[in-house]
Structures are given as C-alpha cells and as structure tokens.
Amino acid sequence: EAGVVQSPRYKIIEKKQPVAFWCNPISGHNTLYWYRQNLGQGPELLIRYENEEAVDDSQLPKDRFSAERLKGVDSTLKIQPAELGDSAVYLCASSSYSTGAGGELFFGEGSRLTVL
Amino acid sequence: AQKVTQAQTEISVVEKEDVTLDCVYETRDTTYYLFWYKQPPSGELVFLIRRNSFDEQNEISGRYSWNFQKSTSSFNFTITASQVVDSAVYFCALRRDDYKLSFGAGTTVTVRA
C-alpha cells in the first residue's frame, strides 16, 4: 500500500515569492493534516480536513497561507508571499476517521522549504 | 491547555547500550491518547505506539518497551540493546478526544558503533 506522498521534497525560493506543496494521502483516509516543523522542534498543526471540509484551521496564518482539498483526496498548501520565517518542513499526514482520535497518523516525508 | 515535555534534547550511546527517553505530559482531559513517533533522517514520522488514558499496561515490542504512569503523567520509552539503525529523533505526542495533537520537542538519539 502506498504511503502519504508529498511534493516537492525540497524548495528554495526568495522571500515574497509564492510556493505550493502537494499531498496525496493514503487511499481511503478521510482525514488529512498539514503540519509545520521548525528546526529542532516537534510538528505543529496548521490545518485538519475531514474529507473536503477544513474542521480545524485555527493555527493557519490566513493572511498568507491557504489550503484546499478538492474532492476530499489530494490537498495543496500555499504560501503567498513567503517570508524568511516560513523556512521549515511542511508535513502532510492522513488517518482514517473510523479509528477516531486514538488512530495513528501516517506521515509523508515532508517538503523542506528554504526562504532566502 | 495540553503540553508535552521531552527534557532530553540529545542522547548518545554506544551500540548495545539501553537508552530511555523521558516524556512528561500535561492535560486536564480524562480521555486522551499518547503516542511515540520516530523520525529517521529521511524525515518521515513513523508511528511506534499508542496508549489511551485508561490503559496503563506497559508494553514490550521487540527491543522497544514503554512505561505509562498516570500518577506521574509520564510515558517513557526504552530501547534495549540499541543499534545504529535506532539513530533518529523520537517524538512523544498527546492527543485529545477532539483530535488536537501536541508533540514534544523531540529527543535526538545517536547510537555509535
């Protein structure tokens, strides 16, 4: 079974440029998460989707970040314009809603963003 | 509010030594779930174990073992007879019934041959 797929793995951009990350979750997983992981820290939730609905986006900086999950499968996270402080690894994860809050999250390898 | 503290930033051991990673959590919820994840250099977080707040049984899986103690709000993780492949960053995480998941800052384990 294929895992969570993310692209690109690495992205280097100059500040004020836009950037987008793509995530394909595990087939059949209703719940999709975007996390941001700063160097030396644990991941922090940006947004959680149940199917195509964003049910928790309280940590998403909405002035420059946006996300969508069309058709409840793939998802895209966009930053426009990027700032120096956005340099981090952006992790996508998915889980099966049927397992509830106790179900484990399956993570992708992440997209490492460097803003110059 | 909930919080996960992993006081050890880095641990370095020689192969075959045992290593214990500490995790202390704070929550006011009565129902919650505790997790350990491993993050190897490739970057992908790999699920290791899950415990719910009503199950204080310790667990052993091969060289891995976990000790959950509600009285001290701790969920410690031990790797017995460590191997070089165990080198990674290990994260403890706490999840509430409303799905909010909080990670600790992680402990970097380096196993030297």
- What's the pLDDT at B60? 85
Is A80 within 8 Å of A91 (Cβ atoms)?
no
Question: Average pLDDT in the B27-36 region?
Answer: 92
- CA of B33 to nearest chain A CA: how many angstroms apart? 6
Q: Please tell me if residue A108 touches chain B, with a CB cutoff of 8 Å.
A: yes
CA distance A102 to A80: 34
Residue A104 above 90 pLDDT?
no
Reported as a single tens digit per residue, the pLDDT across B64-95 is: 999 999 999 999 999 999 999 999 999 999 99
Is A113 within 8 Å of A88 (Cβ atoms)?
yes
Q: Name the phi and psi angles at A72, rounded to 5.
A: 70, 20
Q: Which two tokens stand for residue A62?
A: 């909405």
- CA of A43 to nearest chain B CA: how many angstroms apart? 6
Residue A96 above 90 pLDDT?
no
Quick one: pLDDT band at residue B38, thresholds 50, 70, 90? very high
Q: Which of A45, A102, A106 sits opposite B33 (nearest CB)?
A: A102
Q: Which two tokens stand for residue A25?
A: 């979750």
SS3 B64: strand
Cβ neighbors of B73 (< 8 A, separation 6 or more) are: B24, B25, B26
Residue A1 above 70 pLDDT?
no
* Closest chain A CA to residue B36: A104
Please state whether B25 falls in left (phi above 0), alpha (psi between -120 and 50) or beta.
Answer: beta
- CA of B51 to nearest chain A CA: how many angstroms apart? 8
Quick one: pLDDT band at residue A102, thresholds 50, 70, 90? confident
Lowest mean pLDDT among A40-49, A57-66, A83-92, B58-67: B58-67
Residue A97 above 80 pLDDT?
no
**Cβ within 8 Å, pair B105-A102:** no
Q: Please tell me if residue A73 touches chain B, with a CB cutoff of 8 Å.
A: no
Higher pLDDT, B42 or A82: A82
Q: Tell me how many residue pairs between chain A and chain B have CB atoms under 8 A apart.
A: 54
Reported as a single tens digit per residue, the pLDDT across A64-80 is: 999 999 888 999 999 99
Calculate the average pLDDT of chain B: 93
Question: Average pLDDT in the A94-114 region?
Answer: 86
Residue A63 above 80 pLDDT?
yes
